[in-house]
Amino acid sequence: MEGRRPLRVSTAATSVIAVMFLALLVLLGLWLRESWSSATHRTEDRAIAASKIVATNAGWINALALQALQRIDESMGPIPGSGGSAPARDVNEAVANLPGQVKAYVVDGEGNTLYTTDPQIKPINITDRDYFQAVEQGAKTYVSGLLVSRLSGRQIFVFSRRLERAGKFSGAAMLSFEVELLKDVWDAVDLGPNSTVSIIRKDGQLVARYPLAPGPVNMSKYVLFTDYLPKSSEGTYLAKSPVDGETRIVAYQTVDNTDFVVIGSTDYKEGMKAFWEDVSIAISVLLLAGAGSIAAGGWIRHLLQRDTARSARLAEALEENQLLFREIHHRVKNNLQSVQAVIRMQQLPADTQRSLFDRIAAMISVHEQIYKRDQFARVSARDLLPAVVGTLLRAYGNDVEATYDIDDIVISADNATPLALLANEVVTNSLKYAFLDGRAGHLSVSMKPIEGRRVRLVIADNGRGYDAVSAPAGMGTRLIRGVVAQLQGQFRVEAADGARFTAELEIMEPQVAEPA
């Protein structure tokens, strides 16, 4: 058995190290999960804030553009193109406060330019443009998708308004915004490298994007329009951009009272940079922990090998000590039995002699229980009390039967002798006085835990009863009181179909796990 102990200890130590390493893995996993969640939410929150800023600007541009177009329409008079210089001045005033590089145009029903704020205007016909065709076919206002200007080659988007006179289409007023105006918004939201802000029409046509897109893009088959917008007017998602194929966290929302959906997106790798830094830290910690675990395992093996001889010597010393303790208690028992023999030889009254004999026998029972079971520090009440009572029943020879209901209560060796003496006195009183008529009797002994270290001891007989008034207060009674006080308890004796002795005592030993 001793040879197996180092192996068991080594296995246990290895198990502890493995459990600790596993616990570290779990903790790091939870930490990384929280780090990932935090990085994701933080990136999503930044994208959402950006989308709100873009939405505010898009709504503002839409409102200002429609108001400017209405003022241009009103300035044209009853017949567009017949107002001289006054309409041109009004057109310039209408676009004066609009953001970015805005150019205004007014064309007649044939698509020919009547007025413009563009000094570099060239003779072109715009009847092929969707922003002209839409209002020509009856739309009151219209906003185009992303276009490349045929005049400047720059990316633009156009708001147009139908001009009607006498209920007939008479031309269109248009405002051309350069996409570059979103640069100020992109700078303001500060989403970091590879981020974007965009304005998209609800039919999926890209209106404006910064950084600039390669050209017009139809996004109607993109996940934003197929999966997310049908479910909610705002939200976030992770996806590859249909413009440049980059993976980004995107926040989107529709703009009230417009035909726009806006998005703010941030680069996924950039947003998760803090998480990957935490991953690097976790890997470093795991490497250090792994190296430490290996070193600890080697050191433990070294200690166990060094300790094997010492453990063997300690086991031998323990066995010798146990033999010494057993011999001590055996000799104490023999010495007490010698005292009993001396008492028999003394010329003492019979009652006195028997009382001394019985009390010493109770103490002998304690030592006998100790050395028989190698329990030098504690004793089982379930073994001790029947031994004490059985000795008395054999000594008195009464026709008395005893029954026991004793829990497996462990008591210290210091409390075992007082308990044995107490049981001895109470049972002796029953055997001496309860069955004087020689009838068969019954004695019951019970011990149950109450709370903490306290127990309840009950010894009852079915004899002739107990009279507290006439009962003599002799040596036995004084001994009972002294022992109960020593055990920090209290007791009572009452008549109940015989006599019942009940004591509550503080003797229970706290349970200690046996060493493996």
State mean pLDDT over 282-297.
84
Q: Which residues of 198-231 are buried (b: 16+ CB within 10 A; e: fewer)?
A: bbbbeebbbbbbbebbeeebebeebebbeebbee
Q: What is the pLDDT of residues 190-247, one digit of tens each?
A: 888 889 999 999 999 999 999 999 999 999 999 999 999 999 999 999 999 999 999 9
pLDDT reported for residue 276: 86
Pairing of strands 441-449, 400-406: parallel
Under 8 Å between Cβ of 260 and 254: yes
% of the chain beyond a pLDDT of 70: 76
The type of residue at 108 is: D
In a domain, 33, yes or no: yes
- Model pLDDT for residues 349-359, shown as the tens digit of each residue: 656 655 565 56
Say whether both 493 and 371 belong to one domain: yes
Which CATH number does the domain housing residue 304 bear?
A: 3.30.450.20
Which residues, other chains included, contact 228 with Cβ-Cβ below 8 Å and sequence gap of 6+?
235, 237, 252
CA distance 268 to 369: 76
Q: What is the CATH number of the domain that holds 502?
A: 3.30.565.10
Kindly indicate the confidence band of residue 327, based on its pLDDT and cuts at 50, 70 and 90: very low
DSSP code per residue over 118-153 = -TT------TTSHHHHHHHTT-SEEE---EE-TTT-
Q: Determine the pLDDT at residue 20.
A: 86
Domain boundary among 285, 310, 335: 310
- Average pLDDT estimate for 314-325: 51
Q: Are the CB atoms for 266 and 46 separated by under 8 Å?
A: yes
How many domains are there within the chain? Answer: 2
Over residues 466-514, the pLDDT tens digits come to 655 455 556 678 888 888 998 899 999 888 788 899 999 998 876 654 4
Provide the whole-model pTM. Answer: 0.55
The residue with tokens 């998760």 is 272
Establish if 337 belongs to a structural domain. Answer: no
The rounded mean pLDDT for the chain is 81
- Residue 304 and residue 351 share a domain: no
Asked if residue 326 is part of any domain, the answer here is no
Task: Determine whether 313 is exposed, middle or buried from the number of CB atoms within 10 Å of its CB (0-12, 13-18, 19+).
Answer: exposed
Look at residue 172 and tell me if it is in a domain: yes
Residue 59 located in a structural domain = yes
402 is written with which tokens? 């005893």
Q: Give a yes or no: residue 318 inside a domain.
A: no
pLDDT tens sequence across 138-176: 999 999 999 998 878 899 999 999 999 888 999 999 999
Residues 42 and 126 in one domain: yes
What tokens appear for 248 in the block?
């980004």
Q: Where are the alpha helices (DSSP H) in 346-454?
A: 350-373, 381-396, 413-429
- Domain of 490 in residue numbering reads as 346-506
Residue 515: inside a domain, yes or no?
A: no
Question: Which residue, 253, 287, 310, sits at the end of a domain?
Answer: 310
* Residues 368 and 262 both lie in one domain: no
Instruction: Give the whole-angstrom CA distance, residue 372 versus residue 329.
Output: 9
Asked whether residue 155 is assigned to any structural domain, the reply reads: yes
Q: Answer yes or no: do 248 and 354 share one domain.
A: no
Question: pLDDT digit string (tens) for 339-397?
Answer: 555 555 555 565 665 556 556 665 566 556 554 554 555 788 888 888 888 887 877 76
Residue 311 has pLDDT above 70, yes or no: no
Q: Are residues 132 and 16 in the same domain?
A: yes
The answer on 152 and 222 residing in a single domain is yes
Whether 217 contacts 243, CB under 8 Å:
yes
pLDDT given for residue 328 in this prediction: 47
Cα→Cα distances 265→59, 196, 199, 218, 237, Å: 19, 5, 12, 18, 10
Rounded to whole angstroms, what are the CA distances from 42 to 163, 239, 268, 276?
48, 17, 11, 14
Last residue of a domain, one of 310, 325, 358: 310
Residue matched to tokens 């008492």: 343
For 239, counting Cβ atoms within 10 Å of its Cβ (0-12 exposed, 13-18 middle, 19+ buried), the class is middle
